[in-house]
Chains A and B, each alone.
Chain A
Amino acid sequence: EDQVTQSPEALRLQEGESSSLNCSYTVSGLRGLFWYRQDPGKGPEFLFTLYSAGEEKEKERLKATLTKKESFLHITAPKPEDSATYLCAVHGSGNTGKLIFGQGTTLQVKP
Chain B
Amino acid sequence: DAGVIQSPRHEVTEMGQEVTLRCKPISGHDYLFWYRQTMMRGLELLIYFNNNVPIDDSGMPEDRFSAKMPNASFSTLKIQPSEPRDSAVYFCASSLKTYYGYTFGSGTRLTVV
- The interface of chain A, by Cβ under 8 A from chain B, is 31-32, 34, 36, 41-46, 49, 51, 87, 89, 91, 96-104
Least CB distance, B101 to chain A, in whole angstroms: 4
Q: Is the CB of B56 within 8 A of A101?
A: no
Q: Which of B43, B56, B98, B105 contacts A91 (CB 8 A)?
A: B98
- Chain A, residue nearest B4 (CB): A43
Interface residues on B, range: 20 to 34
Q: Is the CB of B45 within 8 A of A99?
A: yes
Give CA–CA (A104, B42) in the complex, Å: 8
Least CB distance, A51 to chain B, in whole angstroms: 8
- Lowest 8 A-B CB distances belong to which pairs? A43-B104, A97-B98, A46-B101, A101-B43, A32-B99, A103-B42, A31-B99, A98-B45
A-B contact pairs, 15 of them (CB 8 A): A34-B102, A41-B106, A43-B4, A43-B93, A43-B106, A44-B91, A49-B99, A49-B100, A49-B101, A51-B99, A96-B55, A98-B33, A98-B48, A99-B33, A101-B43
Q: Is the CB of B42 within 8 A of A43?
A: no
Residues of A within 8 Å of B100, CB to CB, are 49
Give CA–CA (A89, B43) in the complex, Å: 10
A-B contact count (CB 8 A): 57
Give CA–CA (A44, B45) in the complex, Å: 14
Q: Is the CB of A42 within 8 A of B99?
A: no
Give CA–CA (A104, B44) in the complex, Å: 13
Known contacts A91-B98, A97-B31, A98-B56; is A45 also within 8 Å of B48 by CB?
Answer: no
Give CA–CA (A68, B105) in the complex, Å: 31
Q: Which of A41, A46, A96, A100 contacts B102 (CB 8 A)?
A: A46
Least CB distance, B48 to chain A, in whole angstroms: 6
Within 8 A of A (CB), among B1-59: 4, 31, 33, 42-43, 45, 48, 50, 55-56
Least CB distance, B45 to chain A, in whole angstroms: 5
Least CB distance, A8 to chain B, in whole angstroms: 15
Residues of B within 8 Å of A46, CB to CB, are 101-103
Q: Is the CB of B45 within 8 A of A91?
A: no
